[in-house]
Amino acid sequence: MLTLTKIFHFEMAHAIYGYSGACKDIHGHSYELHVTVSSSNKGIDFLPSPGFIIDFKEIKQAVLSSVIQLLDHKLVLSKDYVNKNSAIQAQANLVIWNAEPTAENLLLYIRNRISENLSNQVQLAKLKLYETKDSYAEWADHTKFQNR
């Protein structure tokens, strides 16, 4: 299977409502997002001209418009957190979610947004989101990685 990966960076703050650790308070991360796509073409010896699964520029445009512009330099909080801390609603960069903005939920959100913006010839194969330099969450379409 042939895949391409493009890496993105964004800054975002969040808090986890109902959590007893330090992440219960508003804090930020410098996220690193790895977006891996694959082609639906199987059993080919080479890619016809121009020789791309997809141009890296197209991946960049899809991810910037559907994810980065919506999350970069934002404060993402759940409805539950905002309901218990109503003064926070005055924040101009506030994004309110139904779910807690954990790395796992961020990945599911990112998966859905990017999938909507890819052509039929390209599928999202894997996402990796580093919340810190040594901690990440990963999503993979395991059907893409079977029978390798």
**Contact indicator for 71, 109 with CB cutoff of 8 Å:** no
**Is 60 exceeded by the pLDDT of residue 2?**
yes
Residue 27 main-chain phi, psi, to 5 deg: -155, 165
Question: Which whole number is the average pLDDT over 113-138?
Answer: 93
Torsion of CA 97, 76, 38, 2, to 10 degrees: -150
pLDDT at 41: 67
**Is 50 exceeded by the pLDDT of residue 148?**
no
Task: Identify which of 125, 129, 128 has the alpha carbon closest to the alpha carbon of residue 141.
Answer: 125
CA distances from residue 61 to 35, 65, 75 in whole angstroms, order as listed: 12, 6, 23
Q: Which residue has the higher pLDDT, 144 or 28?
A: 28
The whole-angstrom separation of Cα 34 and Cα 6 is 6
Q: In one letter, which amino acid is 90? A: A
The whole-angstrom separation of Cα 70 and Cα 97 is 12
pLDDT at 145: 54
**Is 90 exceeded by the pLDDT of residue 133?**
yes
**Contact indicator for 141, 125 with CB cutoff of 8 Å:** yes
Q: Which of 48-52, 116-120, 128-132 has the highest mean pLDDT?
A: 128-132
Give the 3-state secondary structure percentages of the chain, helix then strand then coil, rounded to 5.
Answer: 30, 35, 35
- Does the CA dihedral 60-63-69-74 come out positive or negative? negative
Question: How much of the chain exceeds pLDDT 90, in percent?
Answer: 76
Please name each of the domains of the chain with its CATH number. 3-145 (3.30.479.10)
Task: Identify which of 138, 18, 12 has the alpha carbon closest to the alpha carbon of residue 75.
Answer: 12
pTM over 0.85: yes
**Is 60 exceeded by the pLDDT of residue 7?**
yes
pLDDT at 131: 97
pLDDT at 146: 54
Q: In one letter, which amino acid is 69? A: Q
Least confident of 16-20, 98-102, 118-122: 118-122
**Is 90 exceeded by the pLDDT of residue 53?**
no
Q: In one letter, which amino acid is 17? A: Y
Question: Which whole number is the average pLDDT over 15-43?
Answer: 91
